């Protein structure tokens, strides 16, 4: 599952990089929790939680149905 999550993040990455940010996969737990580290402009952005929920989490759940949630670490 980790490889599929990474592939989905690679699809999202260009949109984040266009705004000066990025996302790094930290861990995928056995119960489907994906832990990511927001980087660059995303790290301190007040909209980062919205990006995480409406962007990253939505796409990951669409691409990898086993994902239960996404957390920033």
Is residue 53 pLDDT above 90, yes or no?
Answer: no
pLDDT of residue 55: 86
- Read off the pLDDT band of 50 (50, 70, 90): confident
pTM of the model: 0.88
The answer to whether 19 touches 50, Cβ cutoff 8 Å, is: no
Domains and CATH numbers, the chain: 2-72 (3.30.300.130)
pLDDT of residue 11: 93
Mean pLDDT of 22-42: 93
Exposure b/e, 32-67, CB count within 10 A at least 16 = b: bebebebeeebeeeeebeebbeebbbebbbeebeeb
Is residue 49 pLDDT above 90, yes or no?
Answer: no
How many C-beta atoms surround the C-beta of residue 70 within 10 A? 22
pLDDT of residue 48: 85
**Can you tell me the distance from the alpha carbon of 63 to that of 17, in angstroms, rounded to the nearest whole number?**
20
- Between CA 10 and CA 65, with CA 62 as vertex, the angle to 5 degrees is 105
């Amino acid at each position: 599952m980790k490889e599929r999550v990474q592939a989905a993040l690679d699809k999202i990455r260009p949109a984040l990089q266009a705004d000066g940010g990025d996302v790094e996969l930290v861990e995928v737990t056995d119960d489907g929790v994906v832990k990511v580290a927001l980087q660059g402009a995303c790290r301190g952005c007040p909209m980062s939680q919205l990006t995480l929920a409406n962007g990253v989490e939505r796409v990951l759940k669409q691409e990898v149905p086993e994902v239960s949630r996404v957390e920033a670490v």
